[in-house]
Structures are given as structure tokens and as C-alpha cells.
Structure 1
């Protein structure tokens, strides 16, 4: 069966319309290495170092302060936002880049509550990435609201006339479960509340459709499937209908209508620039801008199709290679991610009693995934550079490691 799966992988790779994109990334010299952690940190596009060198040596080193105008530094947050916008289904002028995801979550939740005065509850995904929960709680204290934590599957029971804003993750960071953004957004808005979506684990992996589905506010990072680099700046989406009234809790001089007036009172700029705060991190922002060029000519629908094909093939290979498969009663692992395509992001999560040692040994053998303690193995599939041969190698290596660990009394 192993040879048959290798042949199938080769055929799938040959037919892959995105296969040429792999050459745009720095993935190491060893063919046997497999990088399945793009859901934590995307790979480096090969052209980015030269672009960053130009920013450092010429724009900063030679032009210095003139680069704010001559190199377009001042407009970069909106310009790069417009590069991200098509990947999340947004029109121009609705996405601004800057700050961290955490800061943008805080802006969005507080501003959302301010857009809904008189309401007293902020609903947050109970399974959310911890920072989102911390920030939602802080936003509640600031706005005089109370926090209501609820599983997304039970959201309807928590909604009502007191709900001001709801913060949800599009894809669960632990399990890879994809939540139904269109229907949940509609349910939130049906009670007069605003929907804020965290897109960290979906942008660049699957269609989002912010404008089409009438999302109010959204945030996301750029260092995962968007490959912007470690700590690359995050982004904030503000629906056009909310921009005039968007009241950021962090007004800064870069969000002022006339920044260089240095006025003592803050008068917000027009449009999505209201989401800016202070001086952006230019080096990382322009590295991100360069990285986004790998998306030129790429259809997000093609990315989604390949993502599902990759995760399906991994499961097929794992069922074949792993003793007991990934769902049988005698299996050393069990699938946490939903099987249904409509409920699956671009990662697979496997529960494993000995997950820490299994992941450690996988990485030693060149298969890089990651671990969510205490017992979840995560594998992220980045369609722009992950191939089907990578998937087969990863599954076969996983099978060998699981067998070794099962026989090792010290593991």
C-alpha cells in the first residue's frame, strides 16, 4: 500500500495547479523534510530578504526621513491592507495593517461595543485562543459590559437584546474546526449585535467573504498562512458602513485627520485609517508587503480545494500507515478535527496520549508539526508550498514514530 500511496502522491503533485508556487519559498535543502507548521509560522518567500535589504540599506540608510514620502512609508498600512483585502473577501479601503492581533482585537471589541450603546454583554468564544478571552474581558471592564463565554455551537442561546458584540474564531486553533461564519454572523446580527471575527487560522487558507457575508469587524495575523514573517503586523477590517462611527479605544497621531497639526484634541481620519494608532513597524510591514506577492494570480478557491485535498490525503495515508488507523478503537491517535469539509480548516489535530514525545521525535526526523498540551498533535497544511509527497512522508513517519513510542517503556 505504501508504494501505491507514493504513486498517488506523485500523480496528485503532477496535477496540482499551485505546484509552481513551492519554488517561491525557502524550504530547506533536504527533500525528506516536511514543514507542517505553517499554521504557526509560514515559510519565508525567497525574494523577501533582498527586499528587506533594500528597505534597510537604501530607504532607511540613504533616503532616511524622506522615505516616509518617497518610499511610501506613510501610506503602507492602507496599501498593504488592500493587498490582504482580496484574500479575506474585502473591498479596497476596508483593511488596515498595523499593531498585533491582540491590539486589533481590543480595538475591534471596544469599538464594536461603542457602536452598540446601551447594551451590556460581550459574548466571547469559550474555546478561543486565550489572549482573545483576556482582551474581551478587558474590553468589558472598559465599556461597563459583562462577559458571556459560550461554545460557538451554543451561541444562539447566549444572544439577546443585551448583546453588544460577539467575538468568535473562524477556525479553532486547537482542533482545526471551521465555524460557519455566514450563519453565525446572521444570527448575531438578527438580535442587533455586531460580529467580530478572528481570522488568524483561516486567512490565506480558505475563502472568508467578509463583505459578502456582512461581517462588521474582523482581525487577523499575517505570519501564518500569509507568510509575513515572525511578529509581522496584524490587520483590522472595518465594514464600510461602520467606518464613520468607528471609535477606536487607542487613538493615535497616525489616525488623526491631520497628523502633523499636532493638535491637542483627536479628530479621527476618514475611513479605515481610523484603525491606525502610532508609527508602524516599517521593516516588518514592508517585509509583509513583499511576502504577499506570492499571492499574485492565485485564486483563494484553488487554495481551498488543495487544502481539503491535502488533509483528505493525509487521513488516507494515516489510515493506511498507522496501526489501527486514526479512528479505530485500537489506534494510538484519534482525530479531533471534523471530517466534514464544511467544518474543517487547513489543519488536522490528533489526540495522542504521548503527544509531547511523539512530536519531539517527528521533528527530529524532519517532520515539523506542533503540539498543544497536553495531548494534541497539530499539522498545518499550507497549499502554496505543501505537496502531496510531503503528506505521504509525514504520515508514514508518524506511523513509525507511534510504533517506536509504543515499544519504548521510557517514552
Structure 2
């Protein structure tokens, strides 16, 4: 279809948006800034700022150590149960702990130990590199017995589904993938790949960091064994917020946490010298949780639950389709390429647009044109659509300024610049 290339049409779409009011629930100290990096760091909910003040001044400052018996101790499970509602899991199957990478390490080792005699780990080149580093480290730690079989995408955009299916065999211990690819936004068919892995007796571990809070996930219906995810992207939990892990209920007693610690001990205040894992998912806790950063995850999750994941997905699809239509009419003639799947059913909530001058354009947008996306090598300008607060006018304005960055050659002055964080 051909859509009008004007702000009035974007405003018309915003006027019909039944989620538009939720935009006011987030801090916006720069009204003129177009923020399209919510797939990397979500905005600050206003309720989180209020909670942070209470946590520091009253809960810590006044209640002191009494806070542990006034809600702190239960935070990992309580917030985990709320996240479970976003990912189609039972309340006792999700717990908040550590970082995404640490949780991945714990679950990969637990899974491999649960499949003795099997030596193959399957992943793909669209997976987040940190996940691959963890796999490499685990394989080395376990004596080099395990082979990491990599499936390679033919175009860097779409997941290599057929190659993955061809690699699955009865020597496979674990298949682990990102549900949504961090560069292209490709969305895997979770139920189909999980079923294929189970058919050969392998376990499956999904990284849902780039889908949780923006894409409907149903771990239970998919039959997923394990999952991890971060809380600072679409969940709006704050920079470096603790992550979460999921273990299907029937597997919890079978798996062993390789980083045993006192928070996962059955009777932690008996201070026994020998470790005995706690029942249920709490056995996958290790050290004392970071209460302040952990508690600050909750307001963002509450906002998503209030919005409803199906409504968020419907808006996300409408907004990414709108963005792609604007790209086709306005940006493709200027050398921008679509580096995300065209099929909305196979796409998450961010769009990557490529350009030979991508990094320079990204820096010009940030430093001069009031648009904040991010950049992923070699040429991807990622535009993160967080439907809970992104407006259609934001998308329209960003596209116009991306055009301006090229037509005015704003990128030229940044050709020799590469900031530490892109």
C-alpha cells in the first residue's frame, strides 16, 4: 500500500491508538528527542523513580535490615511470577537472579549434565555474541567434550531454520537460540523448533531478551525447557537490571545449579557446611540479590501487564509496518536497505535499516538531529519500537531526519568517529 508521507497522517494514527495514554507513565525530560532505542534500554517509568526514592530513603534508610522480612527476601519470586504472565509460564517457573549471561551459564551447564553422553550444542550466527561466548566457555570448562555446531544465516537477516533442523540428531544435548535476533529482529517459530529438538531427545534453551514485553511468548504451550531474558529492554527495568530464568516445572528437581550459593540452600539460616538445594526454582539462586535494582524492575512489568501483551503486539506490528512503508517510499531511494524480515509474523519489534554510511548517520542523528537509535556493525541502524511509549509521530519524524542526514551529508564529519558504546 501507499501511505501519506505527512505528519498529519501520523497524528491520525496516534489519535486512534488506545495505548497512547501510557506514554505519560514514563519520564520524558527531552520532549523533542525521538527515542528509538527501547530495544536496548527502555525508558524510566515514573513509578520507578518514586520507588527508588522509597527504597533508598525509607526501606534502606529507616527499616534497615528489617527490610528482608518486609518483602525483600521474596522479590526474586514475586517479580518472577509477574514476568511469567508475559511469557506464558506458571508463576513458580520464573525467578529473577543475576545477569542474563550468568543465568545462561547456569542453565547451559545444568542442561548438559542432564544429557550425559550427548556432545552437540547447536546455535546460530544470529545469536547474541555473549551467548556464544558463554557456550564456548562452558565447552572449555567441561574439558572440550562438547561440539558447538553453528548454523549460518544465508543473508544475515533470516534464521537458518533448515540448517538447524539438519544439525539436530541423537547426539544433540542442547539447542539454544535467541527468540528474536538482536541485529535483524528475525523471530523464530518457538513451538516448531522446540518440537524438532525434543524429537531427538535434546533440551531447548531460549534467550527471550529481545522479545519479552513486545512479542507474545508462550513457553508452556511451546513445550520449552529453559529460557533466560534481560529486564532492561522492553521491560524497562533500568540499566544493568537483574535478569530472569525459566525452568519448566517438571525439570526443576532434575537440574543442578552449577553455582551453588547460600540463597539456593534449603535452610540458608541454619548455616550448614554442606549444600542441600532448596526445593523448586529457588535452588537456582546463588548469592544475595541486589535488592534496589531488583525491586526497580517491578513498575515496568506492571505497566506491560496493564497494557496487555496482545495489544502491545498489535500496536508494534502496526508501527513496524508503518516504518517499513516509510522506508520504502522515503529512505530506499537514498540508499537505505531493509535489514529486517518483511514478513511481520517473522519479525520482532525493532527494524534494522542498513546504509554504507550507517555509523556516521547514527551519530549525526544522535548528536545533531534529535533521534536516538543505535548502531550494530557492519551497517545496521536499529530502530527500536517500544509500543508502550513510542508514537507514530516519533516514527514519522525519525524517518524524515534520517533522510535529512543523507541529503545534507551530515554523516561526513563522523567518518573517523567510533564511540565506545554504539
What TM-score, normalized to structure 1? 0.94
Structure-2 residue corresponding to 1:369: 373
Structure 2 distance, partners of 1:132, 1:202, is: 16
Contact kept? 1:228, 1:287, Cα under 8 Å: yes
1:281-296 map, 5 Å: 281-296=290-305
Contact kept? 2:96, 2:245, Cα under 8 Å: yes
Structure 1 distance, partners of 2:105, 2:216, is: 24
Contact kept? 1:68, 1:74, Cα under 8 Å: yes
Contact kept? 2:5, 2:326, Cα under 8 Å: no
Structure-2 residue corresponding to 1:40: 40
Structure 1's 146 and 410: CA in aligned 2 closer, same or farther, altered over 3 A? closer
Structure-1 residue corresponding to 2:341: 338
Please give the per-residue CA displacement for 1:20-40, whole angstroms capped at 9, x wherever unaligned: 11000012342x321000011
Structure 1's 285 and 407: CA in aligned 2 closer, same or farther, altered over 3 A? closer
Question: What's the C-alpha RMSD, in Å, of the aligned pairs?
Answer: 1.7
Relative to structure 2, which stretch is displaced further, 8-17 or 194-203? Answer: 8-17
Structure-1 residue corresponding to 2:118: 119
1:408: how far off?
5.5
Helix, strand or coil for the counterpart of 2:176?
A: strand
Contact kept? 1:99, 1:234, Cα under 8 Å: yes
Structure-1 residue corresponding to 2:420: none
Structure 2 distance, partners of 1:123, 1:2, is: 42
Structure 1 distance, partners of 2:304, 2:200, is: 37
1:2: how far off?
9.5
Please give the per-residue CA displacement for 1:295-325, whole angstroms capped at 9, x wherever unaligned: 242221111111111111112222332361x
Relative to structure 2, which stretch is displaced further, 8-17 or 204-213? Answer: 8-17
Please give the per-residue CA displacement for 1:40-92, whole angstroms capped at 9, x wherever unaligned: 1000001211211111111111111111002x111110111011111111111
Structure 2 distance, partners of 1:156, 1:295, is: 34
Q: Which runs of 5+ in 1 are unaligned?
A: 325-330
Please give the per-residue CA displacement for 1:370-411, whole angstroms capped at 9, x wherever unaligned: 001231111100000001111110111111112122896985
Structure-1 residue corresponding to 2:13: 12
Equivalent residue for 2:233, pick from 216, 221, 224: 224
Structure 1's 148 and 407: CA in aligned 2 closer, same or farther, altered over 3 A? closer
Equivalent residue for 1:163, pick from 165, 172, 177: 172
Contact kept? 1:41, 1:225, Cα under 8 Å: yes
Structure 2 distance, partners of 1:60, 1:182, is: 44
1:350: how far off?
1.2
Helix, strand or coil for the counterpart of 2:109?
A: helix
Contact kept? 1:246, 1:274, Cα under 8 Å: no
1:146 and 2:155 correspond = no
Structure 1 distance, partners of 2:395, 2:412, is: 26
Structure 2 distance, partners of 1:387, 1:409, is: 30
Structure 1 ranges of 4+ moved more than 4 A: 1-4, 406-411
Structure 2 distance, partners of 1:128, 1:38, is: 19
What TM-score, normalized to structure 2? 0.92
Structure 2 distance, partners of 1:49, 1:407, is: 36
